[in-house]
């Protein structure tokens, strides 16, 4: 018989999974309950948000008001947390709570209305780019499917579990929103006691629900990119590329490679579509054209360069079987990054397993990102690029399309 992992825990895979289920009991996110709540009880738009949309002379004004109010709400929430941590008088906290309550009702309504405005603008941008539905290659139908629908709210957390002896996703478990740091660390410690590396991550968006969830933000470019990226995952699920990713997520046919392909494609498309929306509706939010950068000083600190260096050294240590040394090195570099103004709560194998899926990130050493970018560069349009990518289900197939010999 074969054990599930070489992590030294001596548990069968089924027993490990059962242990993970026990550790996350009471914290697991309920997909069914969320869908029932939103599809059957809440509907697509609250009456208050619908009234705001109907009365708005300029829809973008609702988006701008939401962004402004979101900053105020976040500031009050932070102030309340600080007062509680400092043991401030109850009267001081009550005053902030009252201010927060006055804003939150309007903030929630604006969130619904602004999300609807952005969904319409994203839909128009997709259609303008010729990206409409997964059967576009065969059926010329001017309908964007699935409909762009998302909610601006706190997405679930995800527990990422990786073996200690290599950087790879063993399992992901979706956890409820609003976890406190001590709860996250308790879950991580319990998983680590099984002999695995663990990290609880706050997601910026989640397309595994319909409507998708996009994290609250005062950054319009972030909202547009996140919403478009989550829609792309829903779109891709109806294609060979995305369907293979679904099978991987369901643990039916696991593939780290297919996850990287999906995330990279979604990232490229969402960045371009978000820029289109900004150019059409919010041109003042477009980043300015920067002059060519000066040659990088090899002695100056660079976060992307440092993260890539850390990842490569960790890979070397793990390949040599030096697990404890790799973990000590990551913790030492995490503390160094803190001195440079970069806060990473936990830097371990699970961190790299999660962030390495996004091939454009500095934590990734996967060449897939460069190869997907090459296919985009040789495609005449974004829709052509997407239509070519959706049929690709492996890196070998991608390299064949690019004419790269193995």
Report the pLDDT value the prediction gives residue 79, as an integer from 0 to 100: 81
Instruction: Report how far apart, in Å, the C-alpha atoms of 201 and of each of 157, 185, 198, 267 are.
Output: 6, 11, 10, 19
Instruction: Quote the crossing angle between the two packed helices 256-281 and 382-389, to the nearest 10°.
Output: 160
Exposure on the CB side of residue 112, measured as CA atoms within 13 A? 18
pLDDT at 35: 82
Decide if pLDDT at 401 tops 70.
yes
- Check if the beta carbon of residue 29 is closer than 8 Å to that of residue 213: no
* Total length of the chain: 406
Which DSSP string do the residues of 12-23 spell out, in sequence order?
Answer: -HHHHHHHHHHH
Percent over 90 (pLDDT), the chain: 56
Give the pLDDT confidence score for residue 5 in this predicted structure: 43
Mean pLDDT of 127-131: 96
DSSP 111: H
**pLDDT tens by residue, 139-168:** 888 899 999 999 998 889 999 999 999 999
Instruction: Name the average pLDDT for the chain.
Output: 87
Mean pLDDT calculated for residue range 276-285: 95
Least trusted range by pLDDT, from 35-39, 239-243, 356-360: 356-360
pLDDT single digits (tens) 14-56: 788 899 999 999 999 998 888 887 776 555 678 888 888 888 8
206-233 pLDDT tens trace = 988 888 999 999 899 999 999 999 999 9
How many Å separate Cα 221 from the centre of its chain? 14
Per-residue pLDDT at 178: 86
Strand 212-214 with 205-206, pairing: antiparallel
pLDDT exceeds cutoff 50 at 6: no
pLDDT value at residue 310: 95
Q: What is the pLDDT of residues 374-384, one digit of tens each?
A: 999 999 999 99
User: What is the rounded distance in angstroms from the CA atom of residue 337 to the CA atom of residue 357?
Assistant: 21
Q: What is the pLDDT of residue 180?
A: 86
The percentage of residues in the chain with a pLDDT greater than 70, rounded to a whole number, is: 90
Mean pLDDT of 60-72: 91
118 pLDDT band, cuts 50/70/90, is very high
């Amino acid at each position: 018989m074969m054990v599930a992992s070489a992590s030294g825990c001596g548990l069968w895979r089924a027993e490990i999974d059962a242990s993970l289920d026990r550790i996350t009991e009471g914290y697991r996110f309920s997909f069914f309950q969320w869908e029932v709540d939103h599809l059957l009880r809440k509907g697509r738009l609250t009456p208050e948000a619908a009234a705001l949309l109907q009365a708005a002379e300029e829809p973008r004004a609702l988006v701008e008001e939401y962004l402004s109010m979101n900053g105020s709400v976040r500031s009050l929430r932070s102030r309340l947390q600080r007062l509680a941590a400092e043991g401030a008088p109850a009267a001081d906290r009550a005053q902030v709570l009252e201010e927060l309550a006055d804003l939150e009702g309007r903030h929630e309504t604006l969130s619904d209305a602004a999300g609807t405005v952005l969904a319409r603008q994203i839909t128009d941008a997709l259609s303008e780019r010729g990206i409409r539905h997964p059967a576009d290659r065969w059926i010329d139908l001017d309908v964007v499917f699935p409909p762009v629908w998302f909610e601006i709210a706190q997405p679930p957390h995800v527990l990422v579990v990786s073996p200690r002896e290599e950087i790879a996703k063993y399992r992901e478990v979706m956890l409820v929103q609003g976890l406190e740091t001590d709860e996250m660390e308790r879950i991580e410690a319990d998983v680590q006691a099984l002999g695995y590396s663990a990290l609880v991550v706050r997601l910026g968006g989640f397309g595994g629900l319909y409507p998708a969830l996009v994290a609250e933000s005062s950054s319009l470019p972030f909202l547009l990119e996140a919403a478009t990226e989550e829609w792309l995952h829903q779109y891709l699920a109806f294609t060979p590329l995305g369907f293979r990713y679904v099978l991987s997520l369901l643990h039916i046919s696991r593939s780290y490679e297919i996850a990287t392909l999906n995330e990279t494609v979604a990232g490229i498309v969402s960045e371009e579509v978000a820029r289109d929306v900004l150019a059409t509706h919010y041109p003042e939010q477009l980043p300015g054209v920067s002059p060519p950068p000066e040659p990088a000083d090899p002695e100056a600190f660079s976060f992307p360069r440092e993260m890539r260096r850390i990842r490569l050294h960790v890979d070397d240590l793990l390949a040599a079987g030096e697990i404890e040394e790799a973990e000590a090195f990551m913790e030492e570099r995490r503390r160094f990054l803190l001195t440079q103004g970069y806060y990473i709560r936990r830097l371990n194998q699970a961190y790299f397993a999660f962030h390495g899926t996004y091939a454009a990130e500095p934590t990734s050493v996967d060449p897939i990102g460069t190869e997907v970018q090459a296919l985009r560069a040789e495609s005449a349009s974004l829709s052509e690029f997407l239509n070519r990518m959706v049929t690709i289900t492996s890196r070998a197939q991608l390299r064949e399309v690019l004419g790269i010999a193995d």
